[in-house]
């Protein structure tokens, strides 16, 4: 099977790039795989890519930034999409030409605007798989309208959480489109897992407002006051670095909280800690949460929509606390800091429970979906609609569990009402 991923910019930095590279490399063991990058601005990608995976750009901004068509607005790529200003008449033309000429059996779009291109422009023989790396509720009404018009032409739509898959099924009305949760995968660790003895809390990600590192730092002040020998290490770079540095100074935490800058790979830094932390207001998946757990760290996280509540089993392999609640976040961290045995036990559970995000299980699911999509496209019928199980979600007490439980309950109620007619 030949598989093409259509990616915004493979030469940048971000979770979608990382998970696309991970899945492409895993699929390359048994398939012909390429990544088509709409944009290119560097000689080489930041992340290493398996040489078996072909990489080709459509628009090289180093030479074509001032191309006349690059200066005219896009018409196919939806105006309401976050990246719209980076698209143009030139990207419309190049994406359309790629899709018209592709010999791939299946093309996978990796963001809403590219999924629209795929839905509208892919030739009839190509199976069309759209990926959602954010959430439906994160999109504006204008973008949802554009997706509602285009997405019925997809064969499969994948989301990174079951709660978001449930939202798409309930709100978008996509007859004939198979919607399924396909989580991101994290490579198997190569280093021994953390043993829980280090007095270090680790967080990682872009230093941007939605990640709420300010809240995490303020919450950690309670830990430092009671246990001054503990540290919080925050890895990443971004626009809030200077603001966070000032906050650290204002709180007198310069000996306890450290902005470590970006690190790659992060595995070597996770295993130096004993607790992972995340304080986001919004997290479609939570790649760093899974990374930390696979390295043996229980994770304390806000219970934001949607990912953390599906990844963390509260009280077993970490803790979930209300979004924006500094006191609850500090208390949850202190619970693990104070109790060495509880921390180590939760770390062991984290390793075990995070195995479901290893490349093997995710690859098996992805291959099944892609094979079914190609077979259905060739046969001229929709992909069999078998929703991903809700069992794991419903055992959680998180945000995602409440949403998925509501969806499941509403479905039962509708069936009861139909039976009573």
Q: Give residues with Cβ within 8 angstroms of 10, minimum separation 6.
A: 17, 20, 21, 35, 37, 40, 45, 49, 55, 57
The whole model's pTM is what? 0.84
The pLDDT score that the predictor gives to residue 123 is 96
Return the structure tokens found at 321: 């606390």
Count the residues in the chain. Answer: 421
Contact 166, 137 (CB under 8 A): no
How many Å separate Cα 57 from the centre of its chain? 23
Return the structure tokens found at 80: 């309401």
Q: CA-to-CA distance for 20 and 35, rounded, in angstroms?
A: 9
State the DSSP code for 351.
H
Q: Which domains does the chain have, with CATH numbers?
A: 2-181 (3.40.50.2000), 200-356 (3.40.50.2000)
The pLDDT score that the predictor gives to residue 385 is 60
Q: CA-to-CA distance for 224 and 200, rounded, in angstroms?
A: 11
The pLDDT score that the predictor gives to residue 261 is 95
User: Which residues share a beta bridge with 319?
Assistant: 300
In Å, what is the CA distance from 347 to each residue of 183, 318, 396?
21, 8, 18
Helix (H, G, I), strand (E, B) or coil at 192: coil
Render each residue's pLDDT in the chain as its tens digit; 421 residues.
999 999 999 999 888 998 999 999 999 999 999 999 999 999 999 888 999 999 999 999 999 999 999 999 999 999 999 999 999 999 999 999 999 999 999 999 999 999 999 999 999 999 999 999 999 999 999 999 999 999 999 999 999 999 999 999 999 989 899 999 999 998 899 999 999 999 999 999 999 999 999 999 999 999 999 999 999 999 999 999 999 999 999 999 999 999 999 898 899 999 999 999 999 999 999 999 999 999 999 999 999 989 999 999 999 999 999 999 999 999 999 999 999 999 999 999 999 999 999 999 999 999 999 999 999 999 998 986 654 443 344 334 444 444 444 444 333 333 333 333 3
Helix (H, G, I), strand (E, B) or coil at 257: strand
The pLDDT score that the predictor gives to residue 391 is 35
Q: CA-to-CA distance for 34 and 37, rounded, in angstroms?
A: 10
Given the structure tokens 């309670």, which residue do they identify? 222
Q: CA-to-CA distance for 3 and 386, rounded, in angstroms?
A: 23
The pLDDT score that the predictor gives to residue 265 is 85
In Å, what is the CA distance from 233 to each residue of 24, 264, 293?
31, 15, 16
């Amino acid at each position: 099977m030949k598989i093409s991923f259509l990616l915004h910019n493979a030469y940048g930095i971000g979770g979608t790039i990382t998970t696309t590279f991970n899945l492409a490399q895993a699929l390359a063991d048994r398939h012909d795989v390429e990544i088509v990058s709409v944009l290119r601005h560097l000689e080489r990608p930041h992340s290493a890519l398996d040489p078996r995976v072909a990489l080709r750009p459509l628009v090289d901004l180093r030479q074509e930034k001032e191309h006349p068509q690059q200066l005219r607005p896009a018409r196919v790529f939806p105006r309401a999409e976050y990246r719209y200003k980076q698209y143009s008449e030139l990207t419309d033309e190049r994406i359309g030409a790629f899709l018209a000429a592709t010999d791939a059996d299946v093309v996978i779009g990796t963001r809403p605007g590219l999924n629209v291109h795929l839905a509208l422009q892919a030739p009839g023989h190509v199976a069309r798989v759209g990926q959602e790396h954010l959430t439906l509720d994160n999109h504006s009404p204008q973008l949802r309208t554009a997706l509602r018009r285009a997405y019925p032409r997809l064969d499969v739509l994948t989301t990174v959480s079951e709660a978001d898959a449930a939202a798409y099924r309930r709100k978008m009305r996509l007859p004939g489109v198979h919607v399924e949760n396909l989580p991101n995968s994290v490579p198997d660790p190569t280093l021994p897992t953390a043993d829980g003895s280090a007095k270090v809390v680790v967080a990682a990600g872009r230093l941007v407002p939605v990640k709420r590192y300010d809240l995490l730092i303020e919450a950690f002040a309670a830990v430092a006051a009671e246990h001054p020998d503990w540290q919080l290490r925050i890895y990443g770079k971004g626009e809030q670095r200077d603001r966070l540095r000032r906050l650290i100074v204002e709180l007198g935490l310069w000996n306890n909280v450290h902005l470590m800058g970006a690190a790659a790979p992060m595995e070597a830094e996770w295993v130096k800690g004993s607790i992972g932390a995340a304080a986001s207001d919004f997290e479609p998946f939570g790649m760093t949460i899974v990374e930390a757990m696979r390295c043996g760290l229980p994770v304390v996280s806000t219970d934001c929509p949607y990912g953390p509540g599906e990844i963390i089993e509260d009280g077993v392999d970490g803790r979930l606390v209300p979004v924006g609640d500094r006191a609850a976040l500090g208390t949850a961290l202190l619970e693990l800091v104070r109790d060495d045995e509880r921390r180590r036990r939760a770390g062991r559970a984290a390793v075990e429970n995070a195995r479901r995000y290893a490349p093997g299980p995710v690859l098996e699911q992805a291959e099944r979906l892609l094979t079914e999509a190609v077979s259905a496209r060739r046969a001229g019928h929709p992909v069999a609609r078998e929703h991903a199980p809700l069992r794991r979600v419903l055992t959680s007490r998180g945000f995602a569990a409440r949403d998925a439980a509501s969806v499941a309950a509403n479905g039962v109620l509708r069936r009861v009402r139909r039976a009573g007619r």
